[in-house]
Structure 1
């Protein structure tokens, strides 16, 4: 990679900024000026994506990039997504895939011009962070001057530093979450949680947790330790998994007639000795208001459907109420889940209740 003295100095500034904080938005903001100079771009954005199930979140340092606000509607038109997925760590430029005429006919380009923020050229690279989590780093130019192979080499030279930065931030946030969790829970009278050591030994049970567990389970549902057998089995499985495998097993959710019952399993940091886990319990009643944060991301019809879902109506009931076919309602439900980044109805109800009354 041929970088002159000035470029190497700027690259060093980028690397220094990547290690400046353990809060991702701050890191990106600290990195932005040097990164854009080194890559010779006008704007940049990082998209963190979970691959199974698929969801994503855009982080944009500096001025907003209007087209990314509505990316959920455009993801299927993103002509760079599949190529970078197929070639991780390799920067891909729009000019490698499309002629200028073809590019100007893409929905991405046309929409950017409609928003008065034209993306004249795009370059992106996929960064594998860990199993199930990747980052897509995109660079944009506002003038019709294509990205060069040298610009791509500049990005490639930073790939490992970028991946390590995201991993370090993620690990640090997980550790801080565990370290601060008990202090936060103890301060709240309505907290429902258990603290458990593995092999299973309960060391603390909050008053509210005792009330919930007595309502959720009968004596025959309990293990000899006094912990619900279903929780013990989940903990036994979690202890035997690595961090990546645990990712999708850290929540137990049941849609009960009285409401959504949920338990989050959070490993607490320990210097030595047995593993400690906090089991945080929540019970969310059916029929709750649609939070404004959710409504803002939905169309008017989707707001109607989401509101009926929060009353625990099924698709047939919703279709009859709004005068549409069940298949149309199913499409609305699928779009709602995608836009709100929830897995299913139980998760939607839980997240809506959490936003109404954070726990």
Structure 2
């Protein structure tokens, strides 16, 4: 494409500078600021705007405009249905479309977008646009504008076409970096958060990461004699070893560990982390709640009043005998209540009840 353009020496210099500008930063605004004067000179345009469109977001588009504001695009919500470029560029991505290919001069001058540009003293006399597929569900549309009655030529379109691959990569790379940065910031907040505690382990016995709060919890929960040679507590190491040997289906309902010291309920959830390559790692997310865990509304609504009373005592980690004494019931009656409420709540055991109640009260 570049060799067929027959650019003169000045245009070649501008073209190479434009490709360099598109790879000069991982900030999209900085990339577009550097690219704007070069593409405007190469394509003989007066203004430029990039529209980012995400299928899964609301609103579905965002305009990024380097240089002076284009007030018309601030009203795009009410003009979108009158945009003659939208359907053609979506129908044929990576095809640079000029207004003269879609409308007669009379039709373009009479369009709502052109009339509104005159009212705003913008005078957008000609437009050239193209749709760039970035990734599934995410596209970008570049628009170049002229404020004089001289149409964009096929050569102008060819110059822009020669830069589309570089522009697409720039938008993709900047978007990926922005997502990575946001994710890293969230992870940092998560890592330092006062209510967050997690351990990352690479099976069989290699500890990868321990958050500050996890270190404090593990010191409180376990003694030195409870630790595996790797430094990971033996009960957690044994549960992890068992989960690693299971299929994903077999792990359901078994991917947690619950313990109590009489005052606090300790819970650990085991989560296998995705990995594009190499060994899978596991996150052990820890939490600690008072033993007297409130019965969540989501559970209470499934139980009869007598079962609610028993469930609340179970959540205080009382035995059947202690519950029977507290309620003036026989141990047999208490056991019947416990069996029914476990069935109604679709939990596997007392430990499972404690764990799921803890998750409802404070997700782990």
- TM-score of the superposition, structure 2-length normalised? 0.56
Q: 2:334 aligns to what?
A: none
1:193 shift after superposition: 7.8
Q: 1:274 aligns to what?
A: 280
Q: How many residues align?
A: 232
**Counterparts in 2 of 1:35 and 1:271: CA distance versus 1, 3 Å:** same
1:48 shift after superposition: 0.8
The answer to whether structure 1 residue 34 and structure 2 residue 38 are counterparts is yes
Q: Distance in 1 between matches of 2:57 and 2:113?
A: 24
1:39 shift after superposition: 1.1
Q: 1:17 aligns to what?
A: 21
The answer to whether structure 1 residue 50 and structure 2 residue 54 are counterparts is yes
1:173 shift after superposition: 2.4
Select the residue among 2, 7, 17 that pairs with 2:6.
2
The answer to whether structure 1 residue 174 and structure 2 residue 179 are counterparts is yes
Q: Distance in 2 between matches of 1:277 and 1:178?
A: 17
Q: 1:82 aligns to what?
A: 87
**Counterparts in 2 of 1:53 and 1:24: CA distance versus 1, 3 Å:** closer
Select the residue among 140, 145, 151 that pairs with 1:146.
151
Q: Secondary structure at the match of 2:48?
A: strand
**Counterparts in 2 of 1:80 and 1:49: CA distance versus 1, 3 Å:** same
When the two chains are superposed, the root-mean-square deviation of aligned CA atoms in Å is 3.6
**Counterparts in 2 of 1:205 and 1:14: CA distance versus 1, 3 Å:** same
* CA distances 1:303-332 after superposition (whole Å, capped 9, x unpaired): xxxxxxxxxxxxxxxxxxxxxxxxxxxxxx
**Counterparts in 2 of 1:71 and 1:196: CA distance versus 1, 3 Å:** farther
Q: Secondary structure at the match of 2:133?
A: strand
- Runs of 4+ aligned residues of structure 1 deviating over 4 Å after TM superposition are 192-199, 202-207, 270-273, 275-279
Q: Distance in 1 between matches of 2:95 and 2:7?
A: 18
* CA distances 1:281-301 after superposition (whole Å, capped 9, x unpaired): xxxxxxxxxxxxxxxxxxxxx
**Counterparts in 2 of 1:277 and 1:118: CA distance versus 1, 3 Å:** farther
1:157 shift after superposition: 0.3
Q: Distance in 1 between matches of 2:122 and 2:202?
A: 54
Q: 2:113 aligns to what?
A: 108
1:116 shift after superposition: 1.4
Q: Is the 8 A contact 2:191 2:197 kept in 1?
A: no
**Counterparts in 2 of 1:143 and 1:198: CA distance versus 1, 3 Å:** farther
- Aligned ranges for residues 170-249 of structure 1 at < 5 Å? 170-189=175-194, 223-226=253-256, 239=274
Q: Distance in 2 between matches of 1:19 and 1:70?
A: 31
Q: Distance in 2 between matches of 1:108 and 1:197?
A: 58
**Counterparts in 2 of 1:278 and 1:155: CA distance versus 1, 3 Å:** farther
Q: 1:253 aligns to what?
A: none
1:226 shift after superposition: 2.6
Q: Secondary structure at the match of 2:52?
A: strand
1:271 shift after superposition: 9.2
Structure 2 residue runs without a partner (length 5+): 218-251, 258-268, 286-364
